[in-house]
């Protein structure tokens, strides 16, 4: 996995996304477009159901089977919704605490949007 992604590479992946699976690793071996679409739908449904961020992984788990995804896609969406330590977790400086391989595979596939974890600290910490 290359360190950082140049603007030229990002642009080329957006203009000519690689929708096919690659054989280099697990992250590149499936269709992230289907996974991110299902993940976004799940997060929106959770918001409408009033589910808080901490309860999202537990709420999503029973929903996966109803999505009609392949085995790889189910495993991939589980990894996106697994919570801190597994899912894409960018920090405030634009780097990753976790999820670099997920993000790289999605960038290579030309995925423009997905779900990420954003930790929000309570105001009364001190």
pLDDT of residue 1: 46
pLDDT, tens only, 22-65: 667 888 888 888 988 998 898 889 889 998 777 888 888 888 88
The count of residues in the chain is 126
pLDDT, tens only, 65-92: 888 888 999 888 888 887 655 566 556 5
pLDDT, tens only, 88-111: 655 655 556 566 777 788 887 888
Q: Which of 55 and 11 is assigned the larger pLDDT?
A: 55
Q: Which residues pair with 98 in a beta bridge?
A: 89
- Among 114, 47, 48, which residue's Cα sits nearest to residue 76? 114
| Rounded Cα gap, residues 53 and 39, in angstroms | 14
Strands 89-90 and 96-98: antiparallel
């Amino acid at each position: 996995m290359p360190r950082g992604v140049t603007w030229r590479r990002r642009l080329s992946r957006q203009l000519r996304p690689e929708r096919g699976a690659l054989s280099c690793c697990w992250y590149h071996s499936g269709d992230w477009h289907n996974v991110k679409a299902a993940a976004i739908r799940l997060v929106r449904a959770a918001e409408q159901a009033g589910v808080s961020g901490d309860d999202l992984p537990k709420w999503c788990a029973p929903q996966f089977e109803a999505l009609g995804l392949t085995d790889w896609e189910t495993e991939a969406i589980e990894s996106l919704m697994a919570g801190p330590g597994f899912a894409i977790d960018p920090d405030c400086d634009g780097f990753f605490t976790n999820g670099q391989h997920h993000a790289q595979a999605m960038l290579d596939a030309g995925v423009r949007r997905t779900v990420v974890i954003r930790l929000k600290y309570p105001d009364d910490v001190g």
